[in-house]
Amino acid sequence: MGAARGRFGEMAMRESLARIVDRYALNASDATLLRLTNNAVFALPNAGLVVRITRSHTLHARVHKNVALAAWFAAINAPTIRLAAGLGQPIADGDLRATIWDLVPPSTPTPDATDLGTVLRRFHALGLPAFDLPAWDPIADARARIIDAEALGDGDRDYLLHWCDRLEPRLAAFAAANARSLMHGDAHPGNLLRRAGGPVLLCDFDATAAGPWQVDLVPAPASEGRFGAGGAHAKLAAAYGYDITTDPAWPLLREARELKMIVGGVPLLASGPGIADEFAVRLNSVRNGDSSARWTAFGDLPR
């Protein structure tokens, strides 16, 4: 099944974008697809906006959470991007849900792991909002993606669900033993934007929750282990002031991150053979206990 077909393929996402921009009379003459992963993310530079369309019918609560968080972030001047005002968000397009954000054009220098460590310290210090945030529950999120998958084989589905079953009680015990705080949930430099002449800002709050802050320090070393790039973890640890790989929970948190990195490819399986091949590489390396296998970022693959 190619990118042009399927409920969540690129064509379907572009059709949804067209309906949304027509409804609000937005200037989309220069609309550019930035990302087609868990969300379809389109930049509208002439309008100064970014449109995010969730590529799932089971994660609507997440979109409503993001809108509530955005209002709170604006009220307390958090180091985050801002939701576009005056549009009555989130936006429903049939069974799809979308949000529209103020565009932060790329600015140099590109944010790095040092910036991430600095921003995360500020972010974690914000405390929790007055409204209820979902508790950190990476297994529920993984199951939702697995169940909602269009192109996942039964054998892979069963393996992933059994992996979820094995991890769930161990992660629940870790969460219960640590204080709940504001956590981003997917903290890496790709979720940072530098405002020209201004601060570095966090974006993408799909996984933001109330949970152990330690989780936000895991992506850097976990990614180095699988993708081979070096140096980011050391910068992050120095800027934040804590090295997560020295934490007794590190092996467990690394495994949970690898599950997330694999399941994150599930909505993309219909996008092309390169995605499916990389998904197989990742899953087979875990099945075979091969910690030396190197992965390739889904976003770098042809579709």
Tens-digit pLDDT profile for residues 83-98: 999 999 999 999 899 9
**pLDDT the model gives residue 3:** 44
Q: Which residue has the higher pLDDT, 56 or 221?
A: 221
Give the whole-number percent of the chain exceeding pLDDT 90: 76
**pLDDT the model gives residue 212:** 97
Handedness of CA 73, 242, 192, 188 (dihedral sign): negative
Average pLDDT, the chain: 92
**pLDDT the model gives residue 6:** 58
- As a whole number of angstroms, the distance between CA 43 and CA 104 comes to 10
Least confident of 17-31, 46-60, 74-88, 262-276: 262-276
Name the band, by pLDDT with cuts 50, 70 and 90, for residue 2.
very low
Strand, coil or helix: 93: strand
Strand boundaries in the chain, DSSP class E = 32-36, 39-44, 49-54, 91-93, 96-102, 181-183, 192-194, 200-202, 209-211
Domain boundaries, the chain: 10-102, 113-291
- As a whole number of angstroms, the distance between CA 24 and CA 173 comes to 46
Residue linked to tokens 């968000």: 89
- As a whole number of angstroms, the distance between CA 155 and CA 15 comes to 33
What average pLDDT does this structure show over 168-196? 95
Note the pLDDT tens digit of each residue in 250-301: 999 999 999 999 998 887 787 778 889 999 999 999 999 999 999 998 877 8
**pLDDT the model gives residue 303:** 62
**pLDDT the model gives residue 269:** 82
- As a whole number of angstroms, the distance between CA 72 and CA 67 comes to 9
- As a whole number of angstroms, the distance between CA 44 and CA 24 comes to 13
The fold for domain 10-102 equals Phosphorylase Kinase; domain 1 (3.30.200)
Q: Quick check: 1 pLDDT over 60?
A: no
Q: Which CATH superfamily is 113-291 part of?
A: Aminoglycoside phosphotransferase (APH), C-terminal lobe (3.90.1200.10)
